[in-house]
Chain A
Amino acid sequence: GQQVMQIPQYQHVQEGEDFTTYCNSSTTLSNIQWYKQRPGGHPVFLIQLVKSGEVKKQKRLTFQFGEAKKNSSLHITATQTTDVGTYFCAGGNTDKLIFGTGTRLQVFP
């Protein structure tokens, strides 16, 4: 079945350093969504990418969708302690979203 892999599983960074998480699907996706889960919280929608090669920015966050629509990345520039949490990608071609395993980001002040 369709699988979505995400790496790395964990990342510890010093505040101010950059961070990137990568998402790879075994099949072509119609879209990719990104969610953030703060410690003790629930996943919250961040953004959706639909077009091949699409790049979107939200302040210090940059999201990319691969040309083949099988991979995506989230890059955070100059991390802050407020960026702490687990980041999930989720993709699919139907109603069902397949979630990646998540990348847990820890930021040390």
Chain B
Amino acid sequence: DIQMTQSPSSLSASVGDRVTITCRASRPISIYLNWYQQKPGKVPKLLVSSASNLQSGVPSRFSGGGSGTDFTLTISSLQPEDFATYFCQHSFTAPRTFGQGTRVDIK
């Protein structure tokens, strides 16, 4: 099975900060990497597919990058509504494992 490791597992940041979350796959997965945002008590929301394809309606301050084993999700200027937990997930093969999540808190 392919394991997905996110770092950090949590971070504290201020509004306006640039934030980068990293996701590493245990073996190469090309660009079969997706990012989701989940707020407390809510359903996960797809932000980025195919490593860097921003979903319609997602603000342009979000961006994804990487290929192979190393991927990033960057928020260029953190906004109050961005405080949430972010999950990466690969869809290279079954099982389609999620990372453990990165919680973004207000500093």
Q: Do A and B bind each other?
A: no
- Residues of B bordering A, CB below 8 Å: none
